[in-house]
């Protein structure tokens, strides 16, 4: 497998705060890679730098499919096949489920739109049941499904996912992670930021641990699941 995404010595500052301090990270085609760490470690900042939402990075490069996309505008990055599922869902509350999904469509023609919609409804049958319902009236889990479904409408090659299980009940979390695995099996490469480290590593191929804006550990998912420091610090085990 070739590298789809590579971060090379990535630095980012919020004013005088040095948020990312030389991040090096690779994601290969077809992988799910988990980015783990405590709150404030720099995980979300990393995703925002990749998708261009923070503007100009301080130093380093974001390489995607062999091309330097550092500091490109978000719409250009999205057009290259990268889609970012933001933390907090951010559905359009007054639009219907179907209209929310339409907002994520950047395909070619009516036939392709219906093909994508059919795919989303097979992936998330509950969205089909509620397609006329306003997005803001859905449960938290359903809104997360809608946010993911909207991102998939453009048939992205690479998905950035930020805390997809945040605030959800355990049964819904299990369902969401099962769907993430299915999305990956269908051909989408995924970089996953997730506080539920154990659930993330159970579906990931590899992972990185970030502390204070730096990558401190990396390995296969099995290696990280069995690492004593990871088990104590991120899996809640003694």
Please state the rounded mean pLDDT for residues 120-147. Answer: 94
195 with 206, same domain: the answer is: yes
Task: Let me know whether 149 and 167 are in one domain.
Answer: no
- The pLDDT of 179-188, averaged and rounded, is 95
pLDDT-derived band of residue 42, with 50, 70 and 90 as boundaries?
very high
Which pLDDT value is given to residue 8? 97
46: tokens are 């990393």
Q: Mean pLDDT over residues 27-42, rounded?
A: 95
What is the pLDDT at residue 120?
95
**Domain's final residue, options 155, 178, 213:** 155
Tell whether the model's pLDDT for residue 10 goes beyond 70. yes
Confidence class of residue 235 from pLDDT cuts 50, 70 and 90?
confident
Number of domains in the chain: 2
Domain stop point among 155, 173, 190: 155
- Asked whether residue 146 falls in the same domain as residue 166, the answer is no
**pLDDT at residue number 166:** 86
182 versus 108: the higher-pLDDT residue is 182
Residues of the chain with pLDDT > 70, as a percent, come to 97
On whether both 209 and 179 belong to a single domain, the answer is yes
Asked if residue 182 and residue 73 are part of one domain, the reply reads yes
Give residue-wise pLDDT tens across range 67-81.
999 989 999 999 999
Percent of the chain with pLDDT over 90: 77
- The answer to whether 216 and 64 are in contact (CB under 8 A) is no
The boundaries of the domain holding residue 125 are: 87-155
Check whether residue 150 and residue 161 sit in a common domain.
Answer: no
Residues 112 and 173 in one domain: no
The CATH number that applies at residue 28 is 3.40.50.300
Same domain, 132 and 180: no
Picking from 155, 187, 208, the residue at the C-terminal end of a domain is: 155
In this structure, are 164 and 65 located in the same domain? yes
Whether residue 20 is found in the same domain as residue 123: no
Contacts within 8 Å (CB) and 24+ apart, 143-148: 143/89, 143/91, 144/89, 144/168, 144/172, 144/176, 145/176, 145/179, 146/89, 146/91, 146/97, 146/100, 146/101, 147/85, 147/86, 147/89, 147/90, 147/91, 148/85, 148/124, 148/176, 148/179, 148/180, 148/183
Same domain, 177 and 128: no
Query: What is the DSSP annotation of 57-99?
Result: -SEEEEEETTEE-TT--HHHHHHTTEEEE-TT----TTSBHHH
Same domain, 21 and 46: yes
């Amino acid at each position: 497998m070739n590298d789809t995404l590579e971060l090379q010595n990535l630095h980012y500052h919020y004013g005088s705060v040095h948020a990312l301090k030389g991040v090096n990270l690779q994601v290969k085609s077809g992988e799910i890679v988990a980015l783990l760490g405590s709150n404030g470690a720099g995980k979300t900042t990393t995703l925002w730098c990749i998708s261009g939402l923070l503007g100009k990075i301080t130093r380093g490069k974001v390489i995607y499919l062999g091309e330097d996309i550092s500091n490109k505008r978000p719409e250009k990055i999205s057009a290259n096949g990268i889609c970012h599922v933001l933390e907090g869902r951010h559905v359009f509350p007054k639009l219907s489920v179907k209209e929310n999904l339409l907002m994520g469509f950047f395909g070619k023609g009516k036939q392709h739109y219906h093909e994508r919609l059919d795919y989303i409804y097979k992936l998330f049958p509950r969205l089909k049941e509620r397609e006329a319902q306003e997005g803001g009236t859905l449960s938290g889990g359903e809104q997360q499904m809608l946010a993911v479904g909207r991102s998939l409408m453009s048939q992205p090659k690479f998905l950035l996912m930020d805390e997809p299980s945040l605030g959800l009940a355990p049964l819904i979390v299990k369902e969401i992670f099962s769907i993430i695995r299915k999305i990956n099996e269908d051909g989408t490469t995924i970089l996953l930021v997730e506080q539920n480290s154990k659930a993330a590593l159970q579906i990931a191929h590899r992972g990185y641990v970030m502390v204070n804006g730096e990558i401190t550990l990396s390995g296969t998912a099995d290696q990280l699941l069995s690492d004593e420091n990871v088990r104590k610090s991120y899996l809640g085990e003694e």
